[in-house]
Amino acid sequence: MPTDALEALRRECELASQIVLELPEEDFARRTRLPAWNVKQLLGHMYRDVDRTNVGLDTDAPAVADTDSTSYWREYDPATDGPATAQRAIEVASGHETGQALANAWDEMWRRALGRAGDTDRDRVLVTWGPALTLEEFLRTRVLEIAVHRMDLNAALGLPPNPTEDSVTIVTEILLGLLDAPPPGSVDVSDLALIEVSTGRRDPTAEERSALGDLVDRLPLLQ
């Protein structure tokens, strides 16, 4: 049975809420492994990631999708688009007086957004900034965003990465698609390692370089 993207995203959001709703205020100022952001600003980015669901559902869209959850990422250029993305997250964070205020807003927003998604046909086409894709494919992109950024959140707080099994399945499918690699299981690195090195969270080890072969020259895929 295919992995349900909406339920995978819901679980990742729930786990993020469990962390940030109980987080001491001073911990929102901790630096993350993403140089542009502290924990509060990272949460601001995660807020925007999921709120795009509301944006898409509120926006008229073409009848036909032109992108899927893999090709979607080829439309984003970190060098060109990254600075504006980083700044918008900082603006979301600064719009809330405290980290806890943002945490509460995050918890309310994602529940509302995913509730709306659950009431919408998965074939409905969405546009949030350029590419047009079905709600099903869009939800898969949100799973990648929140799963990877929850790993960033956990790293900043000294917690294990702990992505859910369903989100790992979806994220690795997307990353292998971007690599034009064989199906999952045929690349001899762990799924967690593939996620970390493909998203630029760390450099591959010598053993991982050997296992990836020529594919290593295409890393990182996302930053």
177/186: higher pLDDT: 177
* Half-sphere exposure in the Cβ direction for 22 (13 Å, CA): 7
Which of 117, 118, 134 has the alpha carbon at shortest distance from 51?
117
Residue 175 has pLDDT above 70, yes or no: yes
- Do 33 and 155 touch, CB atoms closer than 8 A? yes
What percent of the chain stands above pLDDT 90? 81
More confident residue, 78 or 12: 12
For 135, how many CA atoms within 13 A lie in the half-sphere containing its CB? 20
pLDDT > 70: percent of the chain:
96
Domains of the chain (ranges; CATH) run: 5-158 (1.20.120.450)
For residue 125, give the H/E element and its range. Answer: strand 125-127
List the single range of 118-127, 176-185, 206-215 with lowest mean pLDDT: 176-185
Residue 186 has a pLDDT of 57
> Taking the model in full, what pTM does it have?
0.94
Q: What is the mean pLDDT of residues 138-151?
A: 98
Q: The tokens of 151 are what? A: 């790993």
Residue 81 has pLDDT above 80, yes or no: no
Q: pLDDT by residue (tens digit) across 192-217?
A: 999 999 999 999 999 999 888 888 89
Per DSSP, what are the bridge partners of residue 126?
133
